[in-house]
Each structure stands twice: as C-alpha cells, then as structure tokens.
Structure 1
Amino acid sequence: MKTVTSRIGLVIVLFLTTICYSQETKIDNDDRDQMRFGFKAGVNFSNVYDEEGNNFVADGKTGLAAGVFLSVPFGKVIGFQPELIYSQKGFKATGSVLGFDYDYKRTTTYLDIPLLLQIKPSSNFTLLAGPQFSYLLETKNEFNNTSNTVEEEINGDNYKKNIFGFVVGADVNLDQFVIGGRLGWDISKSDSDGNSDSPRYKNQVIQLTLGYRF
C-alpha cells in the first residue's frame, strides 16, 4: 500500500511540475475545439487487489504500455477520447512451501480500450475518466525456487478474455507532446474461479506515458 501511495504521489508531483513549466513557457495555442490523433508509449506500474484464495501478498511489477488515441471535441471544454493500448500488467509474490522459498511472477498482456470523457479547463490540461474494456492477449507465469526456474504460457479456460474496468487520469499538453497519467482498476475478476495454483484477483495499474499528437 505504501508503494502504491508513493507512486500516486509521484504522478501528482510530475503533473504539478509540468503545469508550472507550461505556464512559464507560455504555451497559449488553444486547440481544444480541434480533433487530434496521436500515439504514445510509457510504463505500467501494476499490482492486484481483492485477492481471494491466496496464501501470499502480491507486490507490484512494471510493464510496457503503448498505443494510439483520438481526441474528439464537443466544444472547447468537453470532449471524448477513445484509446487503443497494448498493456502489460500482473504482479510478483514471494512465499515458502515445505521449507523452500520461492518467487512467483505473473505477466498478463491486454489490449485495453478506454473510452474517456474529457474535461478541458485549459488548452494545456485535460482531465479524463471513463470505462475500460480489456481483452487478454497472453498470460505468462514464472516460478523460481532455489533449484530451478519454470516459465509457462497459459491460455486456459479459467482466464477471462474480456475484463471490464474504470480509468481516471489527466494529460498535460505541451504543443504537440502529451504527458499522460492514468489510474486504472478492474471491476470484474480476471479468473472465473480461484485456487492456490490459479489465484483469483483484479488488476490495478498506474500508467505514465509520453505521446505525440497531430
């Protein structure tokens, strides 16, 4: 929990610093009523919550986030921003079985489709919130103990392909460049049932990206 809180604090500091910079440089190109298309890439800081049937506490991991977005204005203040994002999520964990310590890491790769409402109080700053639909592309589990390492790809029936979630965030617009921050979490579970081999959980992600818009 402390790690998640510190990362949220980092996002806030980043946005405040960027806003101050944009004000100092006087970027006054007000294009809030124009349709814009762009691409972006960055990093996910992911973990899980609402763990059930587990004998461990999950820790966060990092992953890739990259994709495209479209900004559709409904005037200067309100707009709509759909996105298509390749997004790596998952978690890490440590535990002990029969006196042997182990490390466990799960990487789940999704195609995320957030459908975001834009609120644009200024040309340099945009608030975003809305639902997100995620389609599971791949699941990888890595299990390490003192003697060996096992890595496997899983595409079993127990893993839900379609996940529903919610996203809130903000963009700082510096002319053509966009610095974005998102906080996302699943509402539906990623597994149909949970047990010690296939834990049931929901994803949560802090996402930071740098984009370019046309």
Structure 2
Amino acid sequence: MKKIFLLAAGLLFTGSIYAQSPVRFGIKGGLNLPNIVQSDNSDFDTKINPGFNVGVTVDIPLTSGIAFTPEALYATKGYKLTSGAGEFTQTTNFIDIPILASFKIAGSGLNLVAGPQVSFLMSTKNKFENGFGSVEQEIVEDDSDRFKKSLFGGVVGFRYDVTSNIDLHGRYALDFQKNNENGTEQTPEFKNQVFSIGFGYKF
C-alpha cells in the first residue's frame, strides 16, 4: 500500500518544476460503467456492474494547448454474469494511475485526453444470488494469488472545461493484460474495460 501511494505522489508531482505556470491541482469523481473483454475461448453472458471513481489530479501545462495531467483514483470495476443457476457479481477495487496528456481544441473548452494507465488491485468482492438467497465473499488481494496485483492499460477520452474551475469528462479505459491467467467453467478469462463519466474541480 505504501509503495502505491508513493508512486501516485511521484507521478502527480513529477515534471512540475519544468512546467509553465500555473500548475493546478484538483479533485474529480464520477460514474464507472465497467464490464469485461473475454478471451476467445470464453463465451459468458456478462453485463455492466455499475461503480464509481474518485481521486485527485494535477494539470501541468507543457506548451500552448498541451498539458501533462496525471491522476490518482480509487475505482470500482467488475461485471455481472447471469446463468441458469443464478446471478454472479464480481466487484473489484483498484487504485488507478492514469498518466495522461491533454490536447486543447483551439477556440473551445474541449480537450482530448489519452495515455497509459497502471492499476493496482486492492480487493475483490464476489456475490452469488439465486431464488434461495445470496452468498458473499470478500478477498484482500495482498493475501491472494488468484489475480494479478498490477495491470497495464490505456485511456482515451475528453474533458470539457465548463468554467476555469469546473469540467465534465468522459473516457474509456482498457487493460492490456488479462486480470486472471486462466478461466474456469464458472468464471471467464478476461481484461477489464470501463466507460466513465464525471466532473472535476480545479483549485
């Protein structure tokens, strides 16, 4: 955990001494609409498991219209799977570190954002429900070898600056690595994908 926050802090402040002023810090949050991308040998009927994201960001101008905008976010992901036996819901909790660049569209408040992302898995909650009741299981991933603890991915999206302090944003994130190495008859082999919308406030 300590290493994760040290990495986040380093990414948020790296480059600020080289940036044009002003460097601006902010907070952000929003709705996550996560699902999974299954491997070719999986054929599970999955659907969105709604969640959220919340965290901090810094805007470091590099040149006219271009800025370095790393973030540190707490985010929930996962999926739902329906079968004849009932409904299985998996909710995963991550620390996401998007390392983004933003490109301002001249004459507008619209910015395009893109860049890599590193995600650190913190815990997993599994829930199974059928007509007879429900069963829940929560796993702290530091004590488990079931899933990868860190994943590399990418992010693309937009940010619209409503005012100099308030923005609206939307994006799509995809892991480039599989969360689990091997699927089973009960759970698929997959990569995380997340559509998200939200707002931010810069100080």
- Normalised-by-shorter TM-score class: 0.7 to 0.9
- Establish whether residue 104 from structure 1 lines up as the match of residue 91 from structure 2: no
* Equivalent pair of 1:46/1:91 in contact (CA under 8 Å): yes
- Kindly provide the amino acid, as one letter, of the partner of residue 182 in structure 1: R
Structure 1 range deviating more: 160-169 or 188-197: 188-197
- 1:1-20 aligned at under 5 Å gives the runs none
Q: Give the corresponding residue for 1:140.
A: 125
CA distance in structure 1 between the aligned counterparts of 2:70 and 2:43, rounded to whole angstroms: 38
Q: Give the corresponding residue for 2:45.
A: 57
Q: How many residues were matched structurally? A: 179
* Equivalent pair of 2:38/2:188 in contact (CA under 8 Å): no
Q: Give the corresponding residue for 2:181.
A: 192
* Equivalent pair of 2:81/2:88 in contact (CA under 8 Å): yes
- Establish whether residue 116 from structure 1 lines up as the match of residue 114 from structure 2: no
Q: Per-residue deviation at 1:199?
A: 2.7
Structure 1 range deviating more: 86-95 or 190-199: 190-199
- Secondary structure, aligned partner of 2:31: strand
- Secondary structure, aligned partner of 1:188: coil
Segments of structure 1 that go 5 or more residues without pairing to the other structure are 1-31
Q: Per-residue deviation at 1:213?
A: 0.3
CA distance in structure 2 between the aligned counterparts of 1:72 and 1:44, rounded to whole angstroms: 25
User: Judging changes above 3 Å, is the alpha-carbon distance between structure 1 residues 198 and 52 closer, same or farther for their aligned structure 2 residues?
Assistant: farther
- The CA RMSD over aligned residues, in Å, is 1.7
Match of 1:125 among 105, 110, 130: 110
Q: Per-residue deviation at 1:198?
A: 4.2
* Equivalent pair of 2:37/2:191 in contact (CA under 8 Å): yes
Match of 1:207 among 196, 199, 202: 196
Percentage of pairs with the same residue: 37
- Kindly provide the amino acid, as one letter, of the partner of residue 28 in structure 2: K
TM-score scaled to structure 2, two decimals?
0.83
CA distance in structure 1 between the aligned counterparts of 2:136 and 2:43, rounded to whole angstroms: 21
Q: Give the corresponding residue for 1:178.
A: 167
Cα deviations by residue, 1:24-51 (Å, 9 ceiling, x for unpaired): xxxxxxxx96321100111101100124
Q: Give the corresponding residue for 2:17.
A: none
- Kindly provide the amino acid, as one letter, of the partner of residue 112 in structure 1: D
Q: Per-residue deviation at 1:53?
A: 5.5
CA distance in structure 1 between the aligned counterparts of 2:21 and 2:138, rounded to whole angstroms: 45
Q: Per-residue deviation at 1:194?
A: 1.8
User: Judging changes above 3 Å, is the alpha-carbon distance between structure 1 residues 143 and 52 closer, same or farther for their aligned structure 2 residues?
Assistant: farther
User: Judging changes above 3 Å, is the alpha-carbon distance between structure 1 residues 47 and 106 closer, same or farther for their aligned structure 2 residues?
Assistant: same
Q: Give the corresponding residue for 2:12.
A: none
* Equivalent pair of 1:50/1:202 in contact (CA under 8 Å): yes
User: Judging changes above 3 Å, is the alpha-carbon distance between structure 1 residues 105 and 53 closer, same or farther for their aligned structure 2 residues?
Assistant: farther
CA distance in structure 2 between the aligned counterparts of 1:55 and 1:119, rounded to whole angstroms: 38
* Equivalent pair of 2:180/2:190 in contact (CA under 8 Å): yes
- Kindly provide the amino acid, as one letter, of the partner of residue 22 in structure 2: Q
CA distance in structure 1 between the aligned counterparts of 2:202 and 2:121, rounded to whole angstroms: 27
Q: Per-residue deviation at 1:52?
A: 5.6
- Kindly provide the amino acid, as one letter, of the partner of residue 139 in structure 1: T
